[in-house]
Amino acid sequence: MFMETHRFEYSIQSMANVLGVSRSGFYQFLKRSKNELEKYNPELVEFIRETWLTSRKNYGLVRLLREVKKAYSIYGARTVRKVMKLCEIQGKQEKRFRIATTDSNHGNRIAPNLVQRNFKPNQKNRIWVSDITFLRSSFGWIYLCVILDLYSRKVVGWSISNSNDSKLVCTALSKAIECRNPPKGLVFHSDRGSNYCSYETRRYLLNNKLRRSNSRKGNCWDNAVAESFFGSLKREMEYNYFYKIQEAEELLFDHIEVYYNRHRSHSSLDFVSPVQFEVMLRKNVSNNSSLGYPIT
């Protein structure tokens, strides 16, 4: 309810006058909500609140329910939904707005599509996907390039710049290579934008023994994982407008390295974070190795 959310910013009487309700009606609502909430386990209520706040107010019913099931297996969707309603908790909704950052009208070499929408490799460091998006600032667009490991959805490299050029891509690649030390032949998949198909980017990939892969022309689904990441980022980041590029870099570091990679759960990873998924992978490999099982 608007009045409850903003009760410490504006006077109750002022909000009541604007909304055309009575003060007494508002306080009766608060009392009813409190009485309703008291019917539920206070530990559950606090757990849902804390989990939602820890998710930076991003989690909706599906993810909150998964977290509740891990801690309290006896509670179902109806209970969680009711507590969320009483506590006025809801996940952030996607904003349908996009500016094209891909310039595919160029004469550079296009690579074949080696991924073919196979978004589930069986090991990490087999396929990386990359894309570029824009961020608003007081001095024009800031461009963000990210590289994700398709296996764990972890962001392994990223860079920002005032220019949407080859250097933006190569800087992100440099960080990813330093972070992961990928094997020879790793597939680097992207759209067919001029910065991904430029001589500089092609040479950089060749020197590091990585294979290029490009989406088909005008087919965004061929790079759906990278595009989906940007949809989540713009929906979940608290700030989407920057005054300095240093400010953008600091806030993006916090969102990508601290929150997204380490804490944000993914439905495709059985609702764990990319880092947690890779830790689980290492433990499974270690256990199989100690039991004498072959590692494939």
Which structural domains are found in the chain, ordered by start?
2-86 (no CATH), 127-280 (3.30.420.10)
What is the per-residue pLDDT across 79-121, written as a single tens digit (0 to 9) for each?
A: 888 888 888 888 876 555 455 555 556 568 899 999 998 898 9
What are the structure tokens assigned to 5, written together?
């959310």
> Which tokens sit at 22?
């009575």
Which residue(s) pair with 149 in the sheet? Answer: 128
Instruction: Provide the residue type at 136 as one letter.
Output: R
In angstroms, the CA 23 to CA 11 distance is 10
Q: 3-50 pLDDT, tens per residue?
A: 455 555 666 566 566 556 666 655 555 556 566 777 788 888 888 888
Q: Whole-number mean pLDDT of the chain? A: 83
- Give the tokens for residue 97: 């707005």
List, for residues 48-64, the tens digit of each pLDDT value. Answer: 888 888 888 888 888 88
Please give the average per-residue pLDDT across 257-275, as a whole number: 93
pLDDT given for residue 97 in this prediction = 43
Q: What is the pLDDT of residue 20?
A: 63
Identify whether the C-beta of residue 166 lies closer than 8 Å to the C-beta of residue 195. yes
**Structural contact between residues 243 and 237, judged by C-beta atoms closer than 8 angstroms:** no
The number of beta carbons lying within 10 Å of the beta carbon of residue 213 is 21
Tell me if 184 sits within 8 A of 121, measured CB to CB: no
Contacts of 159 (CB under 8 A, 6+ apart): 144, 145, 168, 169, 171, 172, 175
Write down the pTM of the prediction: 0.70
Residue entry with tokens 């972890």 = 154
| pLDDT tens column, 243-255 | 899 999 999 999 9
Give the DSSP H or E segment for 294.
none
Summarised one tens digit per residue, pLDDT across range 166-205 is 999 999 999 999 999 999 999 999 999 999 999 999 999 9
For residue 51, what are its two tokens? 């989990």
Q: Which of 31-35, 69-73, 117-121, 235-239 has the highest mean pLDDT?
A: 117-121
Q: Is 83 helix (H, G, I), strand (E, B) or coil?
A: helix
- Taking residues 204-219, report their average pLDDT: 91
In the numeric block, which tokens belong to residue 177? 């290579």
Cα 3 to Cα 86, 205, 283, distances in angstroms: 14, 56, 49
Q: Which pair of tokens denotes residue 277?
A: 């998924």
What is the distance between the alpha carbons of residues 103 and 77, in angstroms, rounded to a whole number? 45
